[in-house]
DNA sequence: CATTTTATGTCAGCCATGTTGACATATTTT
DNA sequence: AAAATATGTCAACATGGCTGACATAAAATG
C-alpha cells in the first residue's frame, strides 16, 4: 500500500495536519476566554438594566471623549438604529451627555457624565484585573505577543485605524 | 502644595496609572480582534440562513463527536431552550445527527453528518487562516503566549476543564 | 444664493437568540 | 416502587441586531 508523500513547503492550515489542529485549539481557547471575560461586567450591567451594547458605548465614549455618532458607528459596526436605541437610554439616564460640535454644528459630540465615568470604572475594573492576572501568569513578553496577535487578527483594511486608536501598539515587523 | 507620594509596591491596576492604561488598551484590542475574527464565518452563515449560535454548536459537536446535550449546555453556558432551537434546525436540515446513548439510553449523543462536517470545514477555514497569519506575524513564541494568556482569562473554576478540552495547552508555571 | 450633501434623529417592523418557568417522557438510580 | 436524571417542548418575554423610509439642520458646493 502506497502512502502518498506529504507535500513539503509551507505548513498547511488544514486541520488534518497537526498544525491545523493546534490552530483549532487556539480558536477554541478564544471562545472560552471571551465567554468568561465578558461575564464580569454582565452581572453589573444587569443591576443597571443595561446590556453589552451599553457597555461598548460607555467604553468607547470614555476612551474617546467628544467622539461623534458617526465615528462610534464605524467602531462598533452596527446600524444607526441599533446605536440610537442604547445611546438614547444612556443619555436619558444621565450617563452620557451630548454637545453640539463647535466647528460643525451638525455633529453631536459625546461625553461621559460623572455617573457615566463611575459606571465605566466599575465595569472596567474586573476586566482589567482579569487581564492583568492572565498576563502576569503568562510571563514576560506575553503582553507584547498578545498585542501583536490581536492586532494581526484585525482586518487588514482596519489595522492602521485600530493601531491609531490603541496608542501603545507594538511596532510592526517588516 | 503637597503632592501625595505614589505608594510603592505592586503595580496598580488603576487606569490613572500607565499600567492601567496599557491594560485598557489590551482590552480594547480584544474587542477589535473579536469583531473581525467573527466576521468571516458570519457571511457564510448568512448563505445557510444560520447564525452564530449554529456555528458554535457545529464547532463543538465537531470537536467532541458524541457529545451529550448536557455537556454542550455546560460549554456554551446558555439555556436548554436556546440550544434546543438551533439544534433542532441543524438536525432537521441534516447537519447534525443524534444517536441514543449505549450505556445510558436517556442521552442523545450528537454527531456531525457529512454535510455538517463540510459546513464546519467551510466555517473554520477562514478563521484558521486568520489566526495562522496573526501568529506568524507576531513571531516565535507568540502561539505559546497566546494560549497562556487566553487560558488565564478563563474563570479559575473552569480552567481545568478547558485545559482538558484543549489538548495541547501550555504547561502551567509554578 | 440655490442646491446638494452630510450628520443626525426617528418611526415602524422584522429576526435571531438570549431568558424564565412549567410540564412531559423515558430511563436510570436508589 | 419512588426518586432523580437527561432530554424535549410549550408559551411568553427581552435585548439588540437588521432594513428602509423619511425629517431636520447645517455645511459644502456650483
Region for A94 from its dihedrals, namely left if φ exceeds 0, alpha if ψ lies in -120 to 50, beta otherwise = left
Nearest CA in chain A to B60: A28
A111 interfacial to chain B (CB closer than 8 Å): no
pLDDT more than 90, % of chain A: 82
- Contacts of residue B19, defined as CB under 8 A and 6 or more positions apart, other chains included, come to A132, B11, B12, B13
Which among B30, B77, B165 has the least Cβ separation from residue A150?
A: B30
Residue-by-residue pLDDT tens, chain B, 174 positions: 444 444 444 445 666 566 668 899 999 999 999 999 999 999 999 999 999 999 999 999 999 999 999 999 999 999 999 999 999 999 999 999 999 999 999 999 999 999 999 999 999 999 999 999 999 999 999 999 999 999 999 999 999 999 999 875 555 544
CB B51 within 7 Å, strand C: yes
A132 contacts B13? CB cut-off 8 A:
yes
In CATH, the architecture of B23-138 is: Orthogonal Bundle (1.10)
Q: What are phi and psi of B25, to 5 degrees?
A: -65, -40
Position A20 scores a pLDDT of: 63
Position B117 scores a pLDDT of: 97
Q: What is the DSSP letter of B119?
A: H
Output the DSSP codes for B65-107.
Answer: TTB-HHHHHHHHT--HHHHHHHHHHHHHTTSEEEEE-SS-TT-
Look up the CATH number of domain A19-138.
1.10.10.10
Position A49 scores a pLDDT of: 93
Are the CB atoms for B41 and B129 separated by under 8 Å? no
Give tens-digit pLDDT for A125-141: 999 999 999 999 999 99
CB B50 within 7 Å, strand C: yes
CB A147 within 7 Å, strand C: no
Give tens-digit pLDDT for A63-96: 999 999 999 999 999 999 999 999 999 999 999 9
> What is the distance in angstroms measured between the alpha-carbon CA of B49 and the sugar C1' of D11?
25
A165 contacts B59? CB cut-off 8 A:
no
A32 contacts B154? CB cut-off 8 A:
yes
Nearest CA in chain B to A132: B23
Question: A110 CA to chain B: closest CA distance, Å?
Answer: 19
Position B21 scores a pLDDT of: 86
Nearest CA in chain A to B139: A145
Position A3 scores a pLDDT of: 42
B148 contacts A142? CB cut-off 8 A:
yes
Q: Please give the grid coordinates belonging to residue A97.
A: 451627555
B145 interfacial to chain A (CB closer than 8 Å): yes
Instruction: Give the span between the Cα atoms of B60 and B41, in whole angstroms.
Output: 15
Q: At what angle do helices B80-92 and B52-63 cross, to 10 degrees?
A: 80
Domain boundaries, chain B: 23-138
Residues in chain A, pLDDT under 50? 1-10, 173-174
Amino acid at each position: 500500500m502506497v502512502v502518498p508523500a506529504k507535500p513539503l513547503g509551507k505548513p498547511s492550515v488544514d486541520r488534518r495536519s497537526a498544525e491545523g489542529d493546534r490552530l483549532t485549539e487556539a480558536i477554541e481557547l478564544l471562545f472560552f476566554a471571551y465567554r468568561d471575560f465578558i461575564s464580569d461586567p454582565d452581572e453589573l450591567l444587569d443591576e443597571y438594566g443595561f446590556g453589552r451594547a451599553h457597555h461598548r458605548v460607555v467604553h468607547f465614549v470614555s476612551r474617546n471623549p467628544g467622539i461623534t455618532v458617526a465615528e462610534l458607528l464605524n467602531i462598533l459596526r452596527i446600524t444607526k438604529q441599533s446605536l440610537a436605541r442604547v445611546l438614547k437610554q444612556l443619555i436619558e439616564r444621565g450617563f452620557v451627555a451630548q454637545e453640539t460640535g463647535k466647528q460643525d454644528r451638525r455633529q453631536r459630540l459625546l461625553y461621559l457624565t460623572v455617573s457615566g465615568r463611575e459606571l465605566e470604572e466599575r465595569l472596567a475594573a474586573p476586566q482589567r484585573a482579569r487581564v492583568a492576572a492572565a498576563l502576569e501568569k503568562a510571563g514576560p513578553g506575553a503582553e507584547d505577543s498578545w498585542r501583536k496577535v490581536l492586532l494581526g487578527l484585525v482586518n487588514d483594511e482596519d489595522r492602521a485605524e485600530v493601531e491609531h486608536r490603541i496608542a501603545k501598539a507594538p511596532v510592526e515587523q517588516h
